[in-house]
Chain A
Amino acid sequence: MSSNPTTQLPYRKKSLWMNAWKRLTKNRMAMLGLGIISLFIFAAIFADYIAPYRYDEQHLDKIFQFPNKEFLLGTDQNGRDILSRIIYGARISLQVGFISVAISAVLGCGLGSVAGYYGDKIDNVIMRVMDVLMAIPNVLLAIVIATTLGPGLQNLMIAVGISSVPSFARLIRASILSVKGQEFVEAARLVGCSDARIIFRHLIPNVLAPIIVQITLSMALSILAASTLSFLGLGIQPPIPEWGAMLSSGRMYIMDYWYLVTFPGIAIAIIILALNLLGDGLRDALDPRMKK
């Protein structure tokens, strides 16, 4: 007889997610991306305290000031401080990024998992519709939706969100298909789980890794798409400080005032670069096999 009949298995201290997080923290580029994103989020939340001026504060005696000590990035045609507008613009861009990705992730996950789980006819119908949406280049689809809905922050989010539903749906469907046949799904079904419970409690948590990567990367695409639409006049209207809209209005004065279009564009590029770096890092961290 053994003195200790129930040998305690070593307690697993680190979860899968902790391991991934550890790998991520070792990736310097990804951490740089995360740092920049945190900085932007911080700036967006505390814009009222950080920005030297309000975004709509006009200094009519100081229009078109080149970058100087008083206005670090200069002022625009209404004498508004560009730096302040860029800081407030982070609010809009991040908001658009988060919400439109939330729209596409929720819709895409829903459609993709239903298609993948049920297969057969439902799968066929959903995926053919996605094929159709994918046949229209993204920007054009967003333009069509934005034209119908009209300008405005909310409509912009919807237009951008819907136009990237198909890529989410495809990804989720493929991931669901790869885990659907495993025993734990069969087990869940045997103990009488409903389809909805199997999908949400068992399948989706198991394909979370690619979803997270996709969310990060498509946040970058959404911010870019949103500023594109605003630049074309289909998104956010002045005086709300959106980076794309700032570029669009600054374009008229490009002959004499280069800084009007330069700095908002740099802001867009930096946030997208940061999101891409984080997304690539997450991909490596969550799927170590992929890393070469």
Chain B
Amino acid sequence: MLTYILRRLLMMLPVVVGVVFIVFAILQLTPTDPIRTVLGDMATQEEVDMMREEMGLNDPFFTQFYNYVKNIVTKGDFGVSYINRKPVTSEIISRFPTTLSLALMSILLAAAIGIPSGIISATRQYSLFDNGVTLFSLISLAMPSFWLGLMLIIIFSLNLRLLPASGFYGPQYWIMPVITIGTGCAAGIMRTTRSSMLEVIRQDYIRTARAKGQKESIVIRRHALGNAIIPVITIMGLQFGRQLGGAVLVETIFAIPGLGKLLVDATATKDIPVIQGGVLFMAIVFSFINLFVDILYGFIDPRISTMYRMKKAKKVGAANE
């Protein structure tokens, strides 16, 4: 298992470097002059030239890229903001916990709603509950999350005056953002759970389990769910990535000082180092989550870990022959 994790980490490396390259290259093409962003239109040509040299913007593209990567790898340094001259890294680190906790809370809520309702839907296919849940999931998959957020604000903050409309200071501030992100995710998880369970529930081993007199709850929980959970985990990993992207919107609407808000504010001022750093950081986190999901498969599904062990045994066997 450990070698597997290490190998996956090694495989992740080129992808991450590729992400850095692509984001760096695209943002390099931005037509605005960063120096003018920093110094404003009043600066003299001399000042501009000095600044350009100081920031290394006269270097060829690949030298700039190399320096950028080198600074990230050796010092964890994502550069300095054009606007307020603060280091991007500290900015990201101070804001990331907010975004992460928001994403974690929403995925937990989504799983807590999506998985059980998906199971019930599958076991009682075409029942009133199933139809209701399917309708709910269709609607919530179609709603733009930023619109849902605004509707929640109108209802709960402006009309009922129950919840605060902006900020992120305590549990009552979390409710609306978490629901806003979680609803769409819950729908996705529910749909996947339902279709995966429906597939499994028709298998022979389920009939066998029932035939031997196993309690229905155990049949569903252990025999069926155990085999149906892999696609659900996959979708949850993907949803998590989408949430990191979705944080951009939700944090804007609820004025939450997270990574997403940082990014949106940076796009308004064309603060390239901040955009670059923020996107890269999220992409790296996303890659780690995918890795984590893959490792999780091994723990959940013994077939996968055995497959890996057998491959290794075969290799050893072949070497011995």
User: Cβ of A52 < 8 Å from any Cβ of B?
Assistant: no
User: Cβ of A232 < 8 Å from any Cβ of B?
Assistant: yes
Question: In the bound complex, do residue A129 and residue B18 qualify as a contact, i.e. CB atoms below 8 Å apart?
Answer: yes
Interface of B, secondary structure class, is helix
User: Cβ of B26 < 8 Å from any Cβ of A?
Assistant: yes
Tally B residues with Cβ within 8 Å of A: 50
User: Cβ of A206 < 8 Å from any Cβ of B?
Assistant: no
Q: Which of B22, B30, B153, B241 contacts A137 (CB 8 A)?
A: B241
Question: In the bound complex, do residue B14 and residue A128 qualify as a contact, i.e. CB atoms below 8 Å apart?
Answer: yes
User: Cβ of B268 < 8 Å from any Cβ of A?
Assistant: yes
**Central interface residue in B19, B31, B245, by most chain A CB within 10 Å:** B245
Q: Jot down 28 A-B pairs with beta carbons below 8 A, ordered by A.
A: A131-B18, A132-B15, A132-B18, A133-B22, A135-B283, A135-B290, A136-B279, A136-B282, A136-B283, A137-B244, A139-B249, A140-B248, A141-B279, A145-B26, A146-B267, A147-B267, A148-B26, A148-B27, A150-B31, A228-B146, A231-B144, A233-B267, A254-B154, A262-B151, A265-B143, A268-B147, A273-B141, A276-B142
User: Cβ of B173 < 8 Å from any Cβ of A?
Assistant: no
Contact bitstring B146-184, A, C-beta under 8 A = 1, else 0: 110011011000100000000000000000000000000
Contact bitstring B282-295, A, C-beta under 8 A = 1, else 0: 11001100100000
User: Cβ of A270 < 8 Å from any Cβ of B?
Assistant: yes
Total A-B pairs, Cβ < 8 A: 138
Tally A residues with Cβ within 8 Å of B: 45
CB distance from A156 to the nearest CB of B (A): 14
Note all chain B residues with C-beta closer than 8 A to A145: 26
Note all chain A residues with C-beta closer than 8 A to B21: 132
How far is B290's CA from A261's CA once the two chains are assembled, in angstroms? 36
Question: In the bound complex, do residue B158 and residue A254 qualify as a contact, i.e. CB atoms below 8 Å apart?
Answer: yes
Question: In the bound complex, do residue B147 and residue A144 qualify as a contact, i.e. CB atoms below 8 Å apart?
Answer: no
Q: Which of A136, A244, A262, A276 contacts B19 (CB 8 A)?
A: A136
**Known interface pairs A254-B158, A255-B158, A273-B139; A228-B279 also in contact (CB < 8 Å):** no
Contact bitstring B100-118, A, C-beta under 8 A = 1, else 0: 0000000000000000000
User: Cβ of A46 < 8 Å from any Cβ of B?
Assistant: no
How far is B29's CA from A150's CA once the two chains are assembled, in angstroms? 11
